[in-house]
Structure 1
């Protein structure tokens, strides 16, 4: 059985559309401040490893909770260079990678998780407004579209559960004009879009204004405990602090016991050149919602402030050995597949060309949303495993880390999701075999009207299944 995305697309159209594209995230094509590397020995109350969203929200909120606290952030490369500067810029309220995933794993907590997720999104918007962060924030909502007949009932059921407003085919195509759409589900409140790199850079600015020290090109090499303190070493120096937060996302943790809990899965993105008003009028999209389809192998897309279409998803590639390598970002077959799917979705835009192509590694764990932990006598907190929905959840994760370090009993720390870790991935070659078999099975389900095979049903029964 074929899906709408299996239809052929003229290869010469794909060649012409990709020809102008340059490698690298368009979001990072902005002016970025530089922060000096760490040299010598410094002391602090809190050291944060990683200057992405999680690390920067941690540092900022720590400074606001306790003004005067000495806080140092160390970053191996530059602020926002990894996931925080490469994602689609979707700020989703969900902390659990969707309600269905959360409900399947923590049925007793799901209502609290949904409430905390919305509070986190509202709080993020309030922080952005209060601190006057220039991040192209738009609370546009999320439009989920059905592109296959069996997906229509999924969306209808979600609407009946209060997850949004169901749109029949005519209504959804009036919002965004694609011949692939059969129905839609619109949630006006649960999602915003943002310029992802600007968000990280503006958070860094807010941190420095709050007294936080940030050091780029200062990769952490080791973590040791010294009495009542922890010491993080870099090639150029060290930070001795009372407490530490490890916000290293997909990169190997300084705590070896946490390394098997995540694997890097590569996601790929295209961005068009800016659409003219006439081109944009062909597809409508006047309300600028974020859009995603509801297949297992799904696409996500949105408009940038200058009317580029950012188009990503579908392929999610795991490479044997769970390494993060720049070489994995160059995958012509995936960029060609994404371009083909773009033109199947918007055949009105055959004169549109792509300006950028890029990729990045997503930190995935076996429950597909963040997990936390404490180590070294409660002096070190860590979090990762966001599985592609970290733009909003990272702020919540930062507050959880600070609560854990404070030993605070809060609605956040009482969550089973926070108190329990996911199962680790097995070592190679089992990890590669299992992940790729699962990916193949998800693709087969998309080509079988959503029917899940024995492997997927078994994973579901074990609490390891994935439903996007």
Structure 2
């Protein structure tokens, strides 16, 4: 929602009075108990560091590829506690942070990237069935909505462009009447409905289900066991932990936003904090007033955008807009709670859905996104190919982390595959500069994006320069 559309009244602040500052998905009485911490020495064929989606998929696929492989997974706190349990639950086929970003950066291989992304989402759905993952998986698609007339024109032109390039399969343009038949908001001017390219999931339940599947296949999972150092040891690698350590032939690093154990990788990502609200369950009448019978995820088309969706019990998750970069790029628990952003989001919510006046929010939370300068994951190896890493998913990692897991396993095996031959895999993004340049550049970009939203989408000289350098940025 554009800031100009925000309601002037403050009566919506009452909707936040009971909101708990904890992630809704993690506030679950069915949350599994953590596995015990590692104490003493361990040895294995493959050590996976990180108990979010990236690490969980890596461990699971490693065992599926070779059931005899001895796999250990270390998690510094609890499986799914960070980004994997705090996100909106949009599981997208896109590996490139959306088709537009992918077409701009890899035009020569975009058809292959789209094909691989579609296959990856199918594989996730198959894994949900095969392993009985109870994660509210719904392949309902996503609608990108226009809330300004210039955005509606751009959506129509974009649909025509991707159609001409053979990239619009399953994507339908909706005019104002058609989009409001799907989800009714007075702010909606048009939409693009990707019918098959996105699924909705309960993100924490997906992480917990993957953990159970790993354990069932024989992966040894240690929680509350941070990996402190990484060094060569004989023919393999050694990782030190607080009460012990692991020696492994190969190591896969899925730590994403947290400081990478390969120090030269650290300048390629910065943490950007994102925030979300969750409403109480809608009544039948409230849900009918909005429509939403097909339960798609939605996102608006502004630079500073919102994403929103229904949960299994018909709550509305409403997130996005603010993207907060802390000076110095540190990840701290204190940044997970930001009341000024919650107030802003609540105002935007009731602007979008005035018919839901009186609905209250039960949860409000934030978390860090591992952002890189090209907005899609990058990959690499270290220590003569004994260590592989993937990071930089920039908020679209729910689906793409499975693809990243396969890339890491390919790299560790020294295999040339259709994945490792991709330019996207072979090349890295530009690293971020040191402070104060990183903070200054990100702050100037955010200011410019807000200004563009207020000026009909017109991008100033700074944004145009960033686009030419391949450093275009949105929230």
Q: Considering the TM-score relative to the shorter chain, is it more than 0.5?
A: yes
Aligned to 2:80: 80
Per-residue CA shift, 1:59-84, capped at 9, x if unaligned? Answer: 00000111121100000000000000
Aligned to 1:24: 22
Gaps of 5+ in 1: none
**C-alpha contact (below 8 Å) 2:449/2:474 kept by paired residues:** no
TM-superposed CA distance for 1:97, in Å, is 0.5
The answer as to 2:241 corresponding to 1:243 is: no
Question: Matched residue pairs, number?
Answer: 466
1:18-417 to structure 2, matched below 5 A, reads 18-30=16-28, 31-160=31-160, 161-162=162-163, 163=168, 164-417=171-424
TM-superposed CA distance for 1:351, in Å, is 1.3
In 2, distance between residues paired with 1:252 and 1:386?
15
**C-alpha contact (below 8 Å) 2:230/2:238 kept by paired residues:** yes
The answer as to 2:465 corresponding to 1:465 is: no
TM-superposed CA distance for 1:467, in Å, is 5.8
TM-superposed CA distance for 1:5, in Å, is 4.8
- Out of 436, 440, 456, the position equivalent to 2:443 is 436
**C-alpha contact (below 8 Å) 1:250/1:362 kept by paired residues:** yes
In 2, distance between residues paired with 1:331 and 1:166?
36
**C-alpha contact (below 8 Å) 2:13/2:346 kept by paired residues:** no
Per-residue CA shift, 1:75-107, capped at 9, x if unaligned? Answer: 000000000000000001110101111111111
**C-alpha contact (below 8 Å) 2:445/2:473 kept by paired residues:** no
Per-residue CA shift, 1:270-327, capped at 9, x if unaligned? Answer: 0001111111111111110000001110000000001100000000000101001111
* RMSD over aligned Cα atoms: 1.1
Secondary structure in 2 aligned to 1:17? helix
Secondary structure in 2 aligned to 1:22? coil
Which stretches of structure 1, 4 residues or more, deviate above 6 A after TM superposition? none
In 2, distance between residues paired with 1:343 and 1:283?
12
Q: TM-score, normalised by structure 2?
A: 0.97
In 2, distance between residues paired with 1:239 and 1:227?
13
- State which drifts further: 217-226 or 158-167: 158-167
TM-superposed CA distance for 1:409, in Å, is 1.1
Aligned to 2:9: 10
